[in-house]
Amino acid sequence: MEDLKSTILIVDDDAAGREAIVSILQTGAYELVVAENGFQALELAKSIHPDIILLDVMMPGMDGFEVCRRIRSDATIAEVPILFLTALDDRQSLLNGLDAGGDDFISKPPDRYELRARVLSISRLNRYRKLLDERKNIETAHQQLLLAYDKTIAGWSHAMDLRDKETEGHSQRVTEMTVRMAQMIGIIGDALLQIRRGAMLHDIGKLGVPDAILLKTAALSDEEWKLMRQHPQMAYDMLYPIEYLRPAVDIPYYHHEKWDGSGYPHGFQGEEIPLAARLFSIVDVWDAITSDRPYRSAWSFDKALAYIQEQSGKHFEPDMVKLFIKMLNNFLP
């Protein structure tokens, strides 16, 4: 793609002076715009946002120093590089120009090669600064988008907890514990983020399960269990088409698989089950059995821990059970 031309605003009350500068810079590398006085220069600067301003000092009505000060006081154009063009060669004029906010000086009449070199140098620096600003803006927008994504996920998760009243707060608890376990085995960065998202959304498929089944306190019939067991597939069908959530689908899809192959929806066994789901399944069961339910009270710590250990090699991967117990010892009082 062809680079965009830099726009240069040439400000000089003397027509011959303007024409001389235009003839020097009319190389095809720049878009040249001219102003005949300071007032016109300010209006043009605000409307075209030039990349460089070549500004004569000695002008009637408003001299170049005042034009420069006004530009620097306007946030929309304050960062535009300003190169003073002046026949003045005394030290005080130089200091006045720098104090007004000028970036450089060149004597009038300008040397053709010097002017081109100065403008090229400033143009390159200004382009680099703009690229850095654009990159920063893109990164900021990206972070804001990710934050919006995660707030949306948290909202979905909270809605699920509110619907399934017996597990209110469940999603947040299991997410925190799963992330801790993942960190303990060295998972960081984007992989950890996807585990967090997957844990938050692990029960999203239950949105497709009727309340009469999801909230039923009595034992489910075979037909009701058949429908309930479809919620991992429902989660997959909901999440996989969403590109940014696709890497997080392992937990919602596979967290009911068991190490011995007796789980669902696919009956995967051992390391066929994705690592994130193997981590999460222990945490999910732990939170379920240590929380009150309408049909039973929460289990004691010792009873729950004994059950987790008893299920090592059956429901859970043995190494994940050891990791879970280590995590409990590290983080629980």
Active site residues: 206
How far is the C-alpha of 70 from the C-alpha of 154, rounded, in Å? 48
203 in Cβ contact with 171 (< 8 Å): yes
Sign, CA torsion 261/267/269/274: negative
Q: HEC profile for the chain?
A: CCCCCEEEEEECCCHHHHHHHHHHHCCCCEEEEEECCHHHHHHHHHHHCCCEEEEECCCCCCCHHHHHHHHHCCCCCCCCCEEEEECCCCHHHHHHHHHHCCCEEEECCCCHHHHHHHHHHHHHHHHHHHHHHHHHHHHHHHHHHHHHHHHHHHHHHHHHHHHCHHHCCHHHHHHHHHHHHHHHCCCCHHHHHHHHHHHHCCCHHHHHCCHHHHCCCCCCCHHHHHHHCCHHHHHHHHHCCCHHHHHHCHHHHHCCCCCCCCCCCCCCCHHHCCHHHHHHHHHHHHHHHCCCECCECCCCHHHHHHHHHHCECCCECHHHHHHHHHHHHHHCC
Which tokens sit at 197? Answer: 């998202």
User: What's the distance, CA 203 to chain centroid?
Assistant: 26
Which tokens sit at 229? Answer: 């067991």
How far is the C-alpha of 153 from the C-alpha of 148, rounded, in Å? 9
